[in-house]
């Protein structure tokens, strides 16, 4: 693994941001929690430390958190994706932005409803431009499972236009105890985002919970 990072999690008040913070902190990374206001960020850090007292984190307003993070993770609801990016884009230049957005549209969250851009990940990349390396990942993970000290039997599809950026996110997935797979350019984020609605349907219609995806196959034969 490469050196340890300062990872800023914007919208770290939710289950997914909290779970990633716990796992990446355990791997030795420094965690910054961002929110719309410093007060909300401090409250999120307090909540994080109730769940995981051994997870240190700094609280900042989103724009300051984005500037402080070597890698930035966007975990806000999809409807707040672009409005949040508007406030932090100056701090993202030259960095990897991991976008976990899933465009679920209530009340029909079990129906695939992708945005006009094709996917939330593509929408973020179009908005931010080539100066930011957007990587879409972690959409198909049961968020609260990340907060538990358990092995999660689910893989991560990693889509982004720069292979090096995808490599880094696959490395971070491994440090969170997950297997990441190269899923191609950011346009392909549509597949992982759409799968979330399908997994919701599977959970509803079958006697299982926390359904996920696993990539299987056979190695090349000589």
pLDDT in the model for residue 143: 86
3-state SS class at 67:
helix
pLDDT in the model for residue 182: 98
Q: Which of 80, 38, 85, 89 is nearest to 59 (CA)?
A: 38
Q: What is the pLDDT of residues 177-221, one digit of tens each?
A: 999 999 999 999 999 999 999 999 999 999 888 999 999 998 876
Average pLDDT, the chain: 94
Q: What is the value of pTM for the model shown?
A: 0.95
Q: What is the pLDDT of residues 113-124, one digit of tens each?
A: 999 999 999 999
Rank 6-15, 82-91, 137-146, 211-220 by mean pLDDT and report only the highest.
Answer: 82-91
Q: Which of 173, 218, 188 is nearest to 73 (CA)?
A: 173
Asked if 13 and 43 touch (Cβ cutoff 8 Å), the reply is yes
CATH 3.40.50.720 is the classification of domain 6-205: yes
Q: What is the pLDDT of residues 125-174, one digit of tens each?
A: 999 999 999 999 999 998 889 999 999 999 999 999 999 999 999 999 99
Asked if 68 and 6 touch (Cβ cutoff 8 Å), the reply is yes
pLDDT in the model for residue 191: 97
In the sheet with 96-99, reading across from the earlier edge strand, the strands are 58-61, 30-35, 6-10, 71-74, 96-99, 133-136, 155-160, 179-182
pLDDT in the model for residue 222: 62
pLDDT in the model for residue 207: 85
pLDDT in the model for residue 1: 43
């Amino acid at each position: 693994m490469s050196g340890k990072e300062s990872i800023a999690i914007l919208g770290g008040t939710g289950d997914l941001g909290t779970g990633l913070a716990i796992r990446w902190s355990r791997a030795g990374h420094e965690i910054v929690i961002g929110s719309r206001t410093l007060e909300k960020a401090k409250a999120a850090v307090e909540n994080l430390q109730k769940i995981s007292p051994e997870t240190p984190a700094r609280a900042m307003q989103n724009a300051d958190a984005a500037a402080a993070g070597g890698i930035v993770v966007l975990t806000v609801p999809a409807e707040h994706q672009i409005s949040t990016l508007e406030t932090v884009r100056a701090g993202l230049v030259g960095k990897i932005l991991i976008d976990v957005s899933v465009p679920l549209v209530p009340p029909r969250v079990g129906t695939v409803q992708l945005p006009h851009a094709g996917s939330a990940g593509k929408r973020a990349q179009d908005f931010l431009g080539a100066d930011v390396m957007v990587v879409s990942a972690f959409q198909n993970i049961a968020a609260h499972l990340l907060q538990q000290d358990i092995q999660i039997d689910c893989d991560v599809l990693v889509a982004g236009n720069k292979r090096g950026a995808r490599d880094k996110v696959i490395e971070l997935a491994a440090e969170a105890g997950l297997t990441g797979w190269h899923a191609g350019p950011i346009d392909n984020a549509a597949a992982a985002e759409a799968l979330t609605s399908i997994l919701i349907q599977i959970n509803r219609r079958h006697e299982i919970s926390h359904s996920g995806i696993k990539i299987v196959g056979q190695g090349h034969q000589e």
